[in-house]
């Protein structure tokens, strides 16, 4: 069991032992005897795909099928802009400004809005899906269910299913994979390209730099450089 799972079981056991004592089933409250492992916030390194793994995953999608056109557009949005799954779900036709070649992401997690340049790759993928794969519906959401009544996706769970399926078909371990995996992958590429922390924060739609700093745990190359520089200074 992972430490998180063990900590959860300990929490349940403490509650059960406290309940027994409060109802007179035990003469002593034994809950304090249960010692759980300490869990630190954001202690785990987030899962991400390298640039090559992301490109391979995209290349394995059969874009001749309707599902392939949809999934390719979804994964390209996630990997190019580092969007959250719910932001892809909430995308509407009005959010694409074809004339100015812009993509609008509105009402993000922290209440802000972002405007991205609509790359030719993303634009072509969206056009292929909208023209030849999107179900016939008057809904304004871009991505809708492929079966009647063609309702928009309710939450980001459908996006996570698409990601897991495509990562698995590409030959990678899809355990603990979701939309945020591509968000971390996008952040990793930005770190590799030597963009400043503030630039990355703005690109990902973070209001606080502290949030973006959590992503630095995956920037192993730069962390290695920092460690080497510290070692030289100490010597």
40 is catalytic: no
Strands across the sheet with 102-105, in order? 96-97, 102-105, 114-117
Q: Determine whether 3 is an active site residue.
A: no
Q: Which of 70, 158, 166, 180 is catalytic?
A: 180
* Catalytic site residue from 84, 134, 158, 166: 84
- Residues present in the chain in total: 235
Q: What is the residue whose two structure tokens read 């030719």?
A: 120
Q: b/e map of 81-102 (b: 16 or more CB within 10 Å)?
A: bbbbbbbbbbbeeebbeeeeee
- For this structure, is 195 an active site residue? no
Closest CA to 66 of 129, 123, 153, 122: 129
Per the annotation, the verdict on 81 as an active-site residue is no
63 is catalytic: no
**Tokens 């928009």, located at residue:** 152
DSSP per-residue codes, 79-140: HHH---HHHHHT-BGGGEETTTTEEEE-S-TTS--EEEE--HHHHHHHHHHHHHTS-S----
- Single out the catalytic residue among 69, 70, 158, 183: 183
CB 156 within 8 A of CB 163: no
Q: Report the alpha-carbon distance of residue 135 to residue 90 in Å, rounded.
A: 17
Find the catalytic residue in 42, 100, 109, 222: 109
Angle (nearest 5°) at CA 188 between 153 and 231: 155
The yes-or-no answer on residue 206 being catalytic is: yes
Catalytic residue among 63, 70, 189, 206: 206
With beta carbons less than 8 A apart as the criterion, state whether 16 and 29 touch.
no
Question: For the packed helices 179-192 and 197-204, what is the interaxial angle rounded to 10 degrees?
Answer: 150
Q: Among all residues, which ones are annotated catalytic? A: 84, 109, 180, 183, 206, 215
């Amino acid at each position: 069991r992972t430490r998180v799972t063990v900590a959860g079981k300990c929490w349940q056991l403490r509650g059960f032992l406290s309940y027994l004592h409060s109802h007179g089933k035990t003469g002593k409250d034994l809950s304090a005897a249960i010692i759980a492992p300490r869990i630190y916030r954001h202690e785990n390194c987030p899962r991400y795909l390298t640039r090559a793994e992301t490109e391979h995953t995209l290349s394995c999608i059969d874009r001749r099928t309707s599902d392939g056109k949809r999934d390719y557009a979804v994964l390209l949005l996630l990997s190019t802009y580092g969007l959250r799954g719910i932001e892809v779900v909430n995308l509407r036709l009005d959010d694409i400004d074809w004339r100015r070649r812009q993509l609008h992401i509105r009402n993000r997690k922290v209440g802000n809005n972002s405007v991205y340049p609509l790359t030719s790759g993303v634009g072509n993928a969206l056009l292929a899906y909208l023209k030849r794969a999107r179900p016939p519906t008057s809904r304004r959401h871009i991505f809708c269910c492929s079966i009647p009544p063609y309702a928009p996706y309710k939450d980001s769970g459908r996006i996570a299913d698409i990601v897991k399926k495509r990562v698995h078909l590409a030959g990678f371990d899809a355990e603990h994979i979701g939309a945020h995996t591509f968000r971390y992958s996008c952040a990793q590429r930005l770190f590799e390209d030597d963009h400043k922390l503030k630039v990355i924060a703005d690109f990902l739609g973070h209001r606080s730099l502290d949030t973006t700093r959590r992503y630095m745990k995956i920037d192993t190359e730069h962390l290695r450089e920092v460690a080497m520089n510290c070692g030289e200074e100490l010597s």
